[in-house]
Amino acid sequence: MSGTYLGMPAFPTAAASSTQDGRLRANLRYATHTIRDKRAKAVAELDDWARLRAAGAAVKDRTLRHLDHYLEQLEEAVTAAGGQVHWAADAAEANAIVARLVRETGEREVVKVKSMATQETGLNRTLAEAGISAYETDLAELIVQLGDDLPSHILVPAIHRNRGEIRDIFREQMGRWGRAAPEGLSDAPGELAEAARLHLREKFLNAKVGISGANFMVAETGTLVVVESEGNGRMCLTLPETLISVVGIEKIVPTWQDLEIFLQLLPRSSTAERMNPYTSMWTGTTDGDGPRTFHLVLLDNGRTDTLADTVGRQALRCIRCSACLNVCPVYERAGGHAYGSAYPGPIGAILTPQLRGTASELDASLPYASSLCGACYEVCPVAIDIPEVLVHLRERVVQGGKVTRRGVKTVLKPAKGHAAERAAMRAAGFAFDHPGVLRAGQRLAGRTRRLHPRRLPGPGHAWSDTRDLPPVPAESFRDWWRRTRGEEQGK
Amino acid sequence: MRVALFVTCINDTLHPDTGRAVITLLERLGVEVGFPEEQSCCGQPQFNTGYRHLTEPLVRRYERAFRDYDYVVTPSGSCAAMVRDNYPRIAAEGRDSRDLAEAAARAVPKTYELTEFLVDVLKVTDVGAYYPHTVTYHPTCHGLRMLRLGDRPRRLLEHVKGLELRELPGAEECCGFGGTFAVKNPAVSAAMGADKVRAVRETGAEAVCTVDNSCLLHIGGMLRREGAAARPVHIAEILAATEADTRKPAGREGSPR
């Protein structure tokens, strides 16, 4: 990994190499199975889970339908509470706003707490180009940053690393960024945590500027909410003089009563906890407590376009719990990096091609990164029908169609490289709609059965490389029926 | 009660034994089954790969083929799920959707997967079958999560004389077939299949059984490639087998070569 998703290969290519990585497969299998079993138990404790899930989906849908209204309400409330609101249409604009705000403070260092939105926009690179060092303070994000790596999971960004790898990264890299790892650091979790604590404490106490994301924004009061396990987020949110929060516009909930639903859905779905250890909430600025200056950067970056798609918009309900990643058999084998985006796994496969479009080979391959097994839909706490959106996006890739890009309705051309498939699908469609043709094909296959190759040519070799082809029977069912029952049944 | 068999294109072409087993089984249970020859494919490969518009004629064809029947029974969880879950969606997005929507509305309520039809409509769990083998059951994704078959297949298997059911570790995990997924993402598909096959071997069962031959095509292909003893067998073929059956025990033997 080189610290950027740019220029990544299409999913099948990336996944082909990651599935060969035995250590990665073992790390992922252990971690995802542990967390999925715990989640199932935590969810089973609530007898109203199905109703909570429906309520979560309904609140999100209603909010998204009136997103303009709630965003304006939020802006008003944040401003009234002493904060400043900035609107960013895309990643470049968001990064430019943040870089300018940091420069205006005169500081050259910032602490960050995990913000998927800034991972999405690639903020750290923009800051580095502006001569500003950004320190990730979420433990897993710290591991990823020190290793010049990329996150591979929404909740556990360093899920692909084991303890031994983390110890090596700490030993080799911590000194370059600040306080070095203690001599003789072992891979014991306690020692690793202590090394991270000492390294980060220095950053927290020196930082004058903090950058965060938010899990939720409550429109009625302008309150932002961060849900976390470590307490590092609270340090970032309360110690610096200036706080800049970069948040996707879909993270809004209208009222505190709505928030109640999501504070039940999120912890159980993500960490399998009844409640997460730290829930920090802040509303603008408060005299004598916390940051003196608060900026909220509201990020669109493809979200309004996604909202214009009546099938695909349900992806915006996502509360980033990562339950879909932890049950996904494809994610478990391929790993998060193969998805080439801050959003890996099933939700990434439907969110990324909507936020970024399907023009690149990678983005066009993401809707196919699923066997449509449906496990992701079953666990999603806000009932996003991920398989439905995957198939919808596949149609967009192979057929093109109407989409909205940057607020303008356009007609998308079909993606390249599907011509042979399209021809085969049409031919099959013709045969299936003309049973006489189908029957002729079956008879030909039956008569030539002893000539069939063991390995298939062309794209079919992917099948026969690892599986034997089934033998073709001498007689199809429909021929058997006609031979044995045809007369008595008329035809 | 007029009942039609929807054999599905995969069974029609590659697994006619499964279709014959459904006929044998239903007739044994006193049900007269018809096979309208206008039927073809449910359209799942096209729909799931992104060619929704190519499925529109197939929705119309399906409705037309089975118009004169009260029930359509199919030995395929995924094809039943295709009709029930996706035909209304295809109609909703269709260009001249009124007749499509009407076709879907007529097709959906009469379509049953075989085990559903046995348990819910015929209200039987003991179909008088005899199958003296150890069997492990893989609940296919579409049977499990789209059709919500629940324990229906297991209840049927538990009543089969001579059959010993072995628990499959990680049973609810996808086998990795996924239609064109197996071709588009071969590495991941093969990795998923390898884990499924390992689980099947761990059970030591003589046969692995599902409600869908498409998953068995993949699992069975890997078992054959590995030279494993376990053989793939469709649940219809187990349920159709009886003590009086003088034929070879159901289940696919090796390649005819």
Please indicate, yes or no, if residue B17 is contained in any of the structural domains.
yes
The label of the residue with tokens 């989409």 reads A403
Q: Of A299, A322, A357, at which residue does a domain stop?
A: A299
Residues A202 and A307 in one domain: no
In terms of domains, do A295 and A316 share one? no
**Whether A275 and A310 share a structural domain:** no
Specify whether B138 is located in the same domain as B201.
Answer: yes
Q: Residue A469: what pLDDT?
A: 77
**pLDDT at residue A113, as a whole number:** 92
Residue B132 has pLDDT above 90, yes or no: yes
CB A135 within 8 A of CB A153: no
Provide the residue type at A125 as one letter.
Answer: R
User: How far is the CA of A321 from the CAs of A118, A174, A281, A425, B190, in angstroms?
Assistant: 17, 29, 19, 37, 28
> What pLDDT score does A49 carry?
97
A425·B53 Cβ contact <8 A: no
Per-run averaged pLDDT (10 residues), chain A, 491 residues = 75 94 92 95 96 98 98 98 98 98 97 93 97 96 95 92 94 95 95 96 96 98 96 95 98 98 97 95 94 98 97 98 97 96 97 95 96 97 98 94 90 83 82 80 77 67 77 92 76 44
Which of A131, A161, A127, A130 is closest to A146 using CA atoms? A161
Q: What is the pLDDT of residue A6?
A: 76
Pairing label, strands A109-112, B111-113 = unpaired
The answer to whether residue A11 is domain-embedded is: no
Domain assignment present for residue A390? The answer is yes
Q: Taking 80 as the threshold, does the pLDDT of residue B95 lie above it? A: no
The whole-number pLDDT of residue B94 equals 78
Judged by DSSP in three states, A269 sits in: helix
Q: Is residue A34, in this structure, part of any structural domain at all? A: yes
pLDDT at A464: 77
Would you state the pLDDT for residue B257? 30
Q: What ipTM did this prediction achieve?
A: 0.93
Rounded to a whole number of angstroms, the distance from the CA of A4 to the nearest CA of chain B is 24
Beta bridge partners of A253: A218
**Is A45 within the bounds of a domain?**
yes
Same domain, B191 and B149: yes
- And the tokens for A453? 């190759």
Amino acid identity at A374? G
Single out the residue in A299, A316, A340 at which a domain terminates: A299
Whether pLDDT at B111 is above 70: yes
Domains held by chain A: number: 3
* Interface contact B192, partner A, CB < 8 A: yes
Same domain for A211 and A63: yes
Give the torsion through C-alpha atoms of A472, A473, A477, A479, to 10 deg: 110
Model pTM score? 0.94
CATH number, residue A370: 1.10.1060
Instruction: Kindly report the CATH number assigned to the domain that includes residue A81.
Output: 3.40.50.10420
pLDDT given for residue B103 in this prediction: 94
Interchain CB contact of A30 with B (< 8 Å) = no
d(CA B105, CA B112): 14
Q: Residue B256: its pLDDT value, please?
A: 36
Same domain, B7 and B115: yes
Shared domain check, A172 and A51: yes
Asked whether the beta carbons of A380 and A386 are under 8 A apart, the reply is yes
Tell which residue, A277, A267, A1, A7, has the closest CA to residue A160. Answer: A1
- The structural domain count of chain B equals 2
- As a whole number of angstroms, the longest Cα–Cα distance in chain B is 53
Query: Of B74, B91, B121, which residue sits at a domain end?
Result: B121
Per DSSP, the residues of A449-466 read: GGG--SS--GGGHHHHTT
H or E segment and range at residue A292 = none
Q: What's A279's DSSP letter?
A: E
Asked if residue B248 has pLDDT above 90, the reply is no
Say yes or no: B162 and B217 in one domain: yes
Q: Are residues B142 and B224 in the same domain?
A: yes
Instruction: Report the relative pairing of strands B71-74 and B111-113 from DSSP bridges.
Output: parallel
Interface of B with A in 136-155 (CB under 8 A): 141-142, 144-146
Smallest CA-to-CA distance from A57 within A392, A380, A390, A389 is with A380
Q: Which residues pair with A280 in a beta bridge?
A: A226
Distances in Å between the alpha carbon of B4 and those of A119, A269, B94?
A: 55, 43, 27
Amino acid (1-letter code) at residue A297: V
Same domain, B88 and B154: no
Q: Provide the residue type at B169 as one letter.
A: P
Q: Which of A355, A352, A380 is nearest to A366 (CA)?
A: A352
Which of A334, A371, A442 has the CB atom closest to B174's CB atom?
Answer: A371
Q: Assess A109–B contact: CB distance below 8 Å, yes or no.
A: no
Decide if B249 is inside a domain.
no
Is residue B256 in a domain?
A: no
- Among residues 2-21 of chain A, which lie with CB inside 8 Å of chain B? 11-12, 15-16, 19-20
Q: Is pLDDT above 60 for B251? A: no
The radius of gyration computed from the CA coordinates of chain B, to the nearest angstrom, equals 18
Phi, psi of A88 (to 5 degrees): -120, 120
Q: Are A295 and A84 in contact (CB under 8 A)?
A: yes
Helix residue spans in A207-316 (DSSP H): 232-238, 256-270, 303-307
In a domain, A156, yes or no: yes
Range of the domain at B189: 134-240
pLDDT of B23 > 50? The answer is: yes
Cα separation, A25 vs A152, whole angstroms: 13
What percent of chain B shows pLDDT beyond 90?
88
Q: Which domain CATH number covers B151?
A: 3.40.50
Window 104-133 of B, Cβ < 8 Å to A: none
Residue B249: predicted pLDDT? 52
Do B156 and B104 lie in one domain? The reply is no
Range of the domain at A348: 303-412
Mean pLDDT of B133-140: 98
Contact between chains at A470 and B220 (C-beta distance less than 8 A): yes
pLDDT tens per residue across span A349-358? 999 999 999 9
